[in-house]
Amino acid sequence: MLLVASVLIFLSIAIHLVDFFAVKDVAERVLKVDLVSLNTIGVFTILAIERGVESYLEIALLWAIFAFVGTAVFASVIRRTNE
């Protein structure tokens, strides 16, 4: 079951990365980076469940914090450039 989830998450990451290069709008690119970050958190979570290592969950938590801060910074920059 975890193998199926891993394959689907990696497929989702690949689709978002391909779409990242196809999109021209900056806001949509930020959204794609955020979605890739969300899927990466899923990968770390699956690794934690599969291998039984709790440090993967800590990595996932740190990744989520950095992704949130990065998205907030990009949103602030986009808002300033549009004004």
CA pair distance 34, 64, nearest whole angstrom: 10
pTM for the model stands at 0.86
- For residue 83, is pLDDT > 80? no
32 Cβ contact list (under 8 Å, min separation 6): 16, 17, 19, 20, 23
- For residue 53, is pLDDT > 80? yes
